[in-house]
A = this chain, B = another copy of it.
Amino acid sequence: MSQTADKPKRERVPLNGVDTPNLFATINAVKGQPELGKFQFRATNHWLEGTHSEGRIESFSGAGSEHKHASTFKFDADHPAVLVGKDRGPTPVEFLLHGLAACLTAGIANIAAARGVKLTEVESKVEGDIDLRGILGISDEVRNGYEKIRVSFKIKGDAPPEKLREVVEQSRARSAVFDVLTNGVPVEITVDAG
């Protein structure tokens, strides 16, 4: 989830499956009416049993109105057997890695299109190192979450390697997920119990 406000001299034509003219029209609309840029994304979750739950992603608000996704996206989450679950879905922490790769990749496609670069391949691998002594409550010196995340991209297109690297770098610089994961965000939890 990342775009660019670059203003290339070149003609803006659809590229990489990106509707580049529409992308720039959207950027200009938000420039003119900043309140259109305010979005709220949402997820709901329903516990099933053990560490298994089902999440749904259905609606969001933004650009001044409410929106429904084209379909209701449903995702199971669970722990694997080695962590006393039944492996009916990825672990919650794995969804963070997926979100990071997807955000950087969407940004790469948009930015490449804005810069007139035709992409032929974007592949990535994400690894997150975590010491479970944190969440298991064994050591107070070990954090609960990942200690380090590494992303490796393989990118090909009709531009020199240096230009392709700049596209990845600009995507990083404007990635919502990269920002949240590296800088953190305030999270408030409320409970209705009874």
User: Which A residues have a C-beta under 8 Å from some C-beta of B?
Assistant: 1-6, 16-19, 22-23, 26-27, 30-31, 34, 37-53, 55, 57, 60, 62-63, 67, 69-70, 73, 75, 77-80, 82-85, 87-110, 119, 121-139, 142-156, 160-162, 164-165, 168, 172, 174-194
Taking CB atoms, residues of chain B closer than 8 Å to A187 are: 100, 148-151, 178, 181-182
Taking CB atoms, residues of chain B closer than 8 Å to A137 are: 3-6, 27, 174
Task: Across the interface, name the chain B residue whose C-beta is closest to A96.
Answer: B99
Q: Are A43 and B126 in contact (CB under 8 A)?
A: yes
A90-B73, A96-B177 are known contacts. Are A16 and B145 too (CB-CB below 8 A)? no
CB distance from A44 to the nearest CB of B (A): 5
Q: Are B92 and A100 in contact (CB under 8 A)?
A: yes
> CB within 8 A of A93: which of B53, B123, B172, B177?
B177
Q: Are A69 and B87 in contact (CB under 8 A)?
A: yes
7 contacts between A and B (CB under 8 A): A1-B135, A34-B138, A62-B82, A77-B98, A144-B174, A149-B185, A181-B184
Q: Are B175 and A135 in contact (CB under 8 A)?
A: yes
Q: Are B136 and A105 in contact (CB under 8 A)?
A: no
In whole angstroms, how far apart are the Cα atoms of A28 and B51 in the complex?
Answer: 19
Q: Are B126 and A5 in contact (CB under 8 A)?
A: no
A43-B97, A45-B101 are known contacts. Are A184 and B186 too (CB-CB below 8 A)? no
Q: Are B181 and A165 in contact (CB under 8 A)?
A: no
Taking CB atoms, residues of chain B closer than 8 Å to A121 are: 47
> CB within 8 A of A92: which of B19, B46, B88, B176?
B176
Task: Across the interface, name the chain B residue whose C-beta is closest to A142.
Answer: B37
Q: Are B106 and A92 in contact (CB under 8 A)?
A: yes
Taking CB atoms, residues of chain B closer than 8 Å to A30 are: 132-133, 136, 138
Q: Are B153 and A84 in contact (CB under 8 A)?
A: no
Task: Across the interface, name the chain B residue whose C-beta is closest to A36.
Answer: B132
